[in-house]
A and B are shown apart, each in its own frame.
Chain A
Amino acid sequence: MASLSFLNRDNTVAGPGYNRWLFPPAALAVHMCIGQAYSLSVFNIPVTKLIGITEPAPDDWSLSATVWVFNLAFFFLGISAAIFGKWVERSGPRKTMLCSALFFASGFALSSLGVHLHSLPLFVGGYGVLGGIGLGLGYISPVSTLIKWFPDRPGMATGLAIMGFGGGALIGSPLAVTLMKHYATPTSMGVSETLMTMGAIYFCFMIFGSVIARVPAPNWKPAGWVPVANTGNQMIATASVTADNAIKTPQFWLLWAVLCLNVTAGIGVLSQASPMIQEIFSEGRRGTGLGITAEAAAGFVGLLSLFNLVGRFFWSSLSDKTGRKRIYMIYLGLGAVLYALVPTAGNLGSTALFVGLFCIILSMYGAGFATIPAYLRDMFGTLQVGAIHGRLLTAWSTAAILGPTLVTQLRDYYISSGKAAGLTESVAKASAYNTTMYIMAALLVVGFVCNLLVKPVDAKYQETEAKPVLA
């Protein structure tokens, strides 16, 4: 349709007067909305009391049934990013952001209807499936364009956008709480109205991003920037690889493993952060009145979220100076050392050391997400980096299931073993986390080795005759 032609990629090519610093707010607008997915747990308790209001009634949904929304949303994020990656490259950021907004907002609307009609399939399928597709499209929509606008600082540019995804959770949670309080009545939790309102707000915000998005003209480059071909950096390819060829290279699967292992460790800890600090620093171990309260534990989770956010921008920007391989050696190597030090902090009873260690760990967990698009650009060039990134995000979907499952299963296993060995409950719980931390450290060591094995991509996979320049 001619009226929709303004969405086409060709019609979004920036003119000579366009300032590239207008694109990061477009990317941030989308990522800050879809990042709300991280704060979905804010609805966990309210949706289990839709009928009973003050406490769950027999016909209310169970918590285990409703958490499927989260699992499905992240599953569909990975799947849609992988499937639609090439379409996203062809269509450009404007059309993709619009589609993402439509799917994401429709997901909210359908889930809102599901809550209103008390239909679990509608609630779970709405946000989980439609919202999840919106998440996947939205997540990869600005990445390729950001890298093209900022070839001189790709780590900083993608770090900025993906920082927005982390920020989305910080906005989504208090926004949902505020709206639910506003809409709640003696006969309603206000969840349906909250979901509908949030969907509308996010839709407008994402449309704002879509409208201001522009792609650079072919061959555009920042003034004074020297292309990598002239820098002699062996780890930055000068020719591009298609998404179909990229998945045939060992580099893709090594980076897939790096992302999966880094995320598995981080997400596992994030999902258990509140009970973990309460159980490690419990009154049973520290004495009456000296344990970490639930309120303080919530503060710990908030602090981790802040470091997760800041780390995305800080470390990813730093990677433009250090190179991507070196920065991942820090994320994984230093991360493994810090995980291994956590039990010592627990045994010393040092809350400050414990909190400090986890703040650094979580900053590098977020950075792992934020730096990966620039790493892919270095390895595979800019031709289809968005599509390659989309396929790599299946590592995230895998880790989103692996991480929490691993941590909770290990915890349960070591608590029962500890009790069987005669330990008190509080000591058994604290010891269970110690073993888990060593296993997380081991996962990062494996990731470190995978990163160490990453070498420049063989020229046979590249689209042009140009080869990586040897140092």
Chain B
Amino acid sequence: MENQSTPSPTTSPVQIALAWIVVAIPLLWGISQTFIKALALFK
């Protein structure tokens, strides 16, 4: 990072993983529900 003189905490990989998990869970749930619904087309 440039032009930044004050030190600040580094983002930990755990923080990043948690943030992605929070958004991935509902998204994957929605996708799975839609996928199940879509299967009706192939019956």
Q: Please give the residue numbers on chain A whose beta carbons come within 8 Å of chain B beta carbons, in ascending order.
A: 13-19, 21-22, 25-26, 28-29, 32, 164, 167-174, 205, 208, 212, 216-221, 295-300, 302-303, 305-306, 309, 355
Contacts and interface: CB of A to CB of B under 8 A. Distances in A.
Contacts of A208: 22
A276 to B, nearest CB: 13
A212 B41 contact: no
A28 B40 CA distance: 29
Contact of A17 (B8, B29, B37): B8
A221 B11 CA distance: 17
Contacts of B20: 25
Given A28-B23, A32-B27, A306-B35, A15 B40 contact: no
B30 A296 contact: no
Contacts of A14: 1, 8
A221 B39 CA distance: 45
Nearest to A304: B38
A16 B26 CA distance: 31
Contact of A16 (B8, B15, B40): B8
Interface of B: 1-4, 6-11, 15-16, 19-20, 22-23, 26-27, 29-31, 33-35, 37-43
A226 to B, nearest CB: 15
Contact of B2 (A21, A167, A219, A303): A219
A171 B29 contact: yes
Nearest to B21: A25
B30 A170 contact: yes
Which of A16, A174, A217: most chain B CB closer than 10 A?
Answer: A16
B11 A22 contact: yes
A220 B2 contact: yes
B35 A15 contact: no
A233 B42 CA distance: 46
A15 B38 contact: no
B34 to A, nearest CB: 5
Contacts of A299: 37-42
23 contacts: A14-B8, A15-B6, A15-B8, A15-B9, A16-B4, A19-B10, A167-B27, A168-B30, A170-B33, A171-B29, A171-B30, A172-B30, A174-B33, A217-B3, A217-B4, A218-B3, A219-B2, A299-B37, A299-B40, A299-B41, A299-B42, A305-B34, A306-B35
Contacts of A21: 16
Contacts of B39: 299
A406 to B, nearest CB: 26
A22 B7 contact: no
A19 B31 contact: no
B19 A309 contact: no
Closest 10 CB pairs of A and B: A15-B8, A17-B10, A299-B41, A170-B30, A299-B40, A171-B30, A16-B1, A19-B11, A302-B38, A25-B19
B30 to A, nearest CB: 3
Contacts of A170: 27, 30-31, 33-34
Given A208-B22, A299-B40, A174 B30 contact: yes
B18 to A, nearest CB: 9
B7 A15 contact: yes
A300 B9 contact: no
A303 B40 CA distance: 10
Contact of B34 (A16, A25, A302): A302
B43 to A, nearest CB: 7
Given A19-B16, A21-B16, A28 B27 contact: yes
Contact of A298 (B8, B31, B37, B42): B37
